[in-house]
Structure 1
Amino acid sequence: MSEKASPTLIEESCDVPEWLNAKYFEEVLRKAKNDSTIKVRSINVRYALPKGENYASTIYRVLVEFHTKDQFAVCRSYIVKGMATSSMAEQKLGEYDVHAKEMDVYQLVIPEMKRLMRSIGDRSELYPKTLAIDRNNDVIIFSDLSLKGYIMADRTTGIDVTHTKMSLDLMAKLHASSLRLAEMYPTILNRFKTGMMTRETDAFYPMFYSNLDALTEEISTWDPKWNYYASKLRKLRPHFVEQGLQVFDHEKDDDLRVFVHGDLWTNNLLFKYDATGRPLDAVLLDFQFCCYGTPMIDLCYFFFTSTQDDIRQNCFEELMQYYYYRMTDYAKKLKCNKKLPTLHQFQQQLLRKLFYAVYSSFIALPIQMNEQTADADFEALMGDDERARRFKKTIMANRKYHKIIKGLLPTFDKKGLLDKLD
């Protein structure tokens, strides 16, 4: 089919690479479906997410109309995920090697973990299905799960207990299947070294410090009774990154070590609902910051960034126990040989890594709750110019965030998490 007969329609203001056209999708579909008769008639390309919903990727939704010798005018929707294209994003994210890592995950790890869960009778969706992993163009092409009814929850309000338990159950499946996978293929997970906080690169360190500084400055403008916490944060600052890095250090051989998602929050989960609005299933997306480490990375990050505030303030121990029983149950069904910790031992491991709750609440949560999207891009997140400083001031001035952090600061302080840790 000629290019003229296969138009590429691009939504206005959508910047699309030249190669992402009808001819390209014809080749992808022929290979994926093993059908050389496929002819793509047209594609329509638009951004899949609005500004402020994603910082590390460029994500397109592509509607493809094609036919084969057996079917005429079939329409399918796909998600095309590539690297963020700004020079700063390419530099910073390149040091994390996020996109090549994610391709490895979908090519080598996800298929095996899906197979393991199928072997114990789990037929849930778990992860998005890949149509193609294109290393030449640095993109991954997924089936569009929105067509099956999967949607994101509202990142600005947090998820309720039902959604939280469903998410923890999905996390338990991920972690338990990775325990068995590591037993079957002892080196398969060793390549995943660079989590969100890593000793491999300091590319994100300036952002960690600038967000902490912006929070400290914001707290110092509140009622004088909060000056105690602003002072605590100033004293914590020289130690903040190192204490975060220690969460990722593997210290004890008998500690749990699993395949960690690394960026497990509301926007990296999709939920499917019944006619009454009750969630039926959840799917986990986006493995750019995955690593091989303690499950506490995912547990703290998810719990403190994504739950409704009454859950965040009151239900931590209860929901960590829920996760523990789900994860150990799946591990036993998968016939993992590793001796699993008791609940008490698990809680001890969690306490040793609990500083990640501070990182998640101080650095990640205000970004994820932000509703002022004018400056919400990678440059504002990572930069140090006037626009970047304005963005960080804006996210810390969010009154919804103030309510949350005013509840957490005393809790963290009582646990000693705002002090230098030995």
Structure 2
Amino acid sequence: MSENVDTEQFNADELQAPEWLNSEFITEVLSKYENVPELKVTDLQISPASAQGDHYASVMFRAKAEYTTPKGKFSKPLIIKTMPELEGHKKDMLSESYVFTTEIGAYCTALPEFERILREAGDKTKLYVPCLYHSMEPRQVMIFEDLVPLGYSVIRGRPVTEEELKKVFAKLAKWHAVSMKVLNERPNFLADFKYGIFEMPTIKTDPFVTTGMARFIEMLDQKPEFRKYKPHFEKVKDVYLDRLADEMQEYRKNRSSDGYYVLCHGDFHLRNMMFKENKQTGAPEDVMLVDFQFCNICPITVDLTYSIYMLMEPEQRRDMGKEMIHHYFTVLVETLKKIGYKAEMPTEARLWEQIHRNRYYHFFMISTLLPMMLALKSNALKMNDLIQDPETRKKSYLLENYLKDVELLLPKYEELGHFKDL
């Protein structure tokens, strides 16, 4: 591990690389990838790959490999992603899940085909970083070339700009459009993508998920201005997770004739995207989506609703992201036409109907994920504590930035009819 690492900045399980992650292993990986049997790694520097709060469902390291081949000396920056090996909540949550199988399928099967379809239509959009190596046995590992030396970075410590958001939603729209075409013409091609967050073995027993609504109702009761909304959430507190699961699994269990379905990213938040600026102008040039562990076929609204709470700034969230989702929809339709989509074109009105219809997803976001996201964004609390410690979670519901958001969102829910016929 590299020296001078700020241990407070990184996740504890990423401070020390496992013994198997060594020069011999990386030599084997690179020699196979480059098809050079004589390749030999001469130096390997390893450090944590991401900051606290960037992710939870994996362990990631950044590596710089110096190596030789018959053609000379070379260097390659790498990102190594693996499953947790330390005993604890993260390992318990992920050990029996399908997150690695899903992500390998996204990188090695789905996204290469999506790019091929775009290329045939004259669109050179890059949807993913190529995977240099992957394995499920004897351990679950994926290795990629590091995007940071190519000029990409994660946004931290400042709000995401409108132009950056437009880049994000345009890329998501192209991904969704191609997946709609594939689902319409070759649905079996994506049949393995059936494991979203609600297929996680521990999801409905994890206290972070199961206590969210109770904490939210408790907060509503403490704030006089919010008490009038408390009865609505009390009506659904015992059933809303089941209703939410029904919404998330709609494609597989109860497909709607007027619903739009796509291969969703499944975890569409700011720390799962890396941005590149134009060196001359400083304007956003590209965004690369990463972390496809929860990709699955589900309502198109899963990524869009998630983005309202986990990606957008409060000013966009105030009107449910209307401007950004309109931009997304424009690119979606343009791309569908470009790639020769043969089914009926989606309409923006029906898209919004679907976003509002899936109200239990909104309830989950405001009661469980939004307080966590805003606590992390303000650097008030740490992710591991928020997920694992009840008292820390309780604090997140009383943070000023969260209460301001709730104050804006609850009247909007009322206006949209989210509380009718509960």
Report the TM-score, using the length of structure 1 for normalisation: 0.88
The CA distance in 1 between the partners of 2:412 and 2:381, in whole Å, is 33
Measured at CA, do residues 232 and 344 of structure 1 come closer, stay the same or move farther in structure 2, by a change above 3 Å?
A: closer
The CA distance in 1 between the partners of 2:3 and 2:105, in whole Å, is 30
Q: How does 1:316-355 map to 2 (within 5 A)?
A: 316-355=321-360
> Which residue identity is paired with 1:90?
K
The CA distance in 1 between the partners of 2:222 and 2:410, in whole Å, is 16
Question: Cα distance, 1:207 vs. partner?
Answer: 2.5
1:257 alignment partner in structure 2? 261
2:149 alignment partner in structure 1? 147
The CA distance in 2 between the partners of 1:303 and 1:375, in whole Å, is 22
1:280 alignment partner in structure 2? 285
2:237 alignment partner in structure 1? 237
Q: How does 1:35-114 map to 2 (within 5 A)?
A: 35-72=36-73, 74-85=74-85, 86-114=87-115
- Contact 2:39 / 2:68 at 8 angstroms: preserved in 1? yes
- Contact 2:204 / 2:210 at 8 angstroms: preserved in 1? no
Question: Cα distance, 1:204 vs. partner?
Answer: 5.4
1:138 alignment partner in structure 2? 140
> Which residue identity is paired with 2:368?
I
The CA distance in 2 between the partners of 1:112 and 1:71, in whole Å, is 34
2:228 alignment partner in structure 1? 228
Measured at CA, do residues 373 and 347 of structure 1 come closer, stay the same or move farther in structure 2, by a change above 3 Å?
A: closer
Range that drifts further, 289-298 or 114-123: 114-123
- Contact 1:51 / 1:373 at 8 angstroms: preserved in 2? no
Question: Cα distance, 1:75 vs. partner?
Answer: 1.9
The CA distance in 2 between the partners of 1:228 and 1:374, in whole Å, is 29
Q: Which secondary structure does the structure 2 equivalent of 1:16 belong to? A: coil
RMSD: 2.4
The CA distance in 1 between the partners of 2:420 and 2:127, in whole Å, is 39
Question: Cα distance, 1:354 vs. partner?
Answer: 4.2
Deviations 1:371-416 (A, max 9, x none): 4576522x751x4xxxx11121132222112211211111112323
- Contact 2:107 / 2:128 at 8 angstroms: preserved in 1? no
In percent, how many aligned pairs have the same letter?
25
The CA distance in 1 between the partners of 2:306 and 2:126, in whole Å, is 23
Question: Cα distance, 1:419 vs. partner?
Answer: 5.4
- Contact 2:329 / 2:348 at 8 angstroms: preserved in 1? yes
Question: Cα distance, 1:368 vs. partner?
Answer: 2.0
The CA distance in 2 between the partners of 1:373 and 1:45, in whole Å, is 29
> Unaligned regions of 5+ residues in structure 1, if any?
1-7
1:367 alignment partner in structure 2? 372
Give the counterpart of 2:271 among 249, 267, 273: 267
> Which residue identity is paired with 1:30?
S
Question: Cα distance, 1:9 vs. partner?
Answer: 5.6
Find out whether 1:299 has 2:300 as its counterpart.
no
> Unaligned regions of 5+ residues in structure 2, if any?
8-14
The CA distance in 2 between the partners of 1:52 and 1:346, in whole Å, is 31
The CA distance in 2 between the partners of 1:199 and 1:173, in whole Å, is 27
1:357 alignment partner in structure 2? 362
Question: Cα distance, 1:71 vs. partner?
Answer: 2.4
1:4 alignment partner in structure 2? none
Measured at CA, do residues 414 and 208 of structure 1 come closer, stay the same or move farther in structure 2, by a change above 3 Å?
A: farther
The CA distance in 1 between the partners of 2:238 and 2:151, in whole Å, is 46
Q: Which secondary structure does the structure 2 equivalent of 1:390 belong to? A: helix
Measured at CA, do residues 84 and 216 of structure 1 come closer, stay the same or move farther in structure 2, by a change above 3 Å?
A: farther
- Contact 1:158 / 1:266 at 8 angstroms: preserved in 2? no
The CA distance in 2 between the partners of 1:348 and 1:246, in whole Å, is 17
Question: Cα distance, 1:123 vs. partner?
Answer: 2.4
Find out whether 1:246 has 2:243 as its counterpart.
no
2:10 alignment partner in structure 1? none
- Contact 1:161 / 1:311 at 8 angstroms: preserved in 2? no
Q: Which secondary structure does the structure 2 equivalent of 1:208 belong to? A: helix
Deviations 1:72-128 (A, max 9, x none): 2x2221111112334432332244321222112222112111212222223233212
Question: Cα distance, 1:198 vs. partner?
Answer: 4.6
2:415 alignment partner in structure 1? 414
Report the TM-score, using the length of structure 2 for normalisation: 0.88
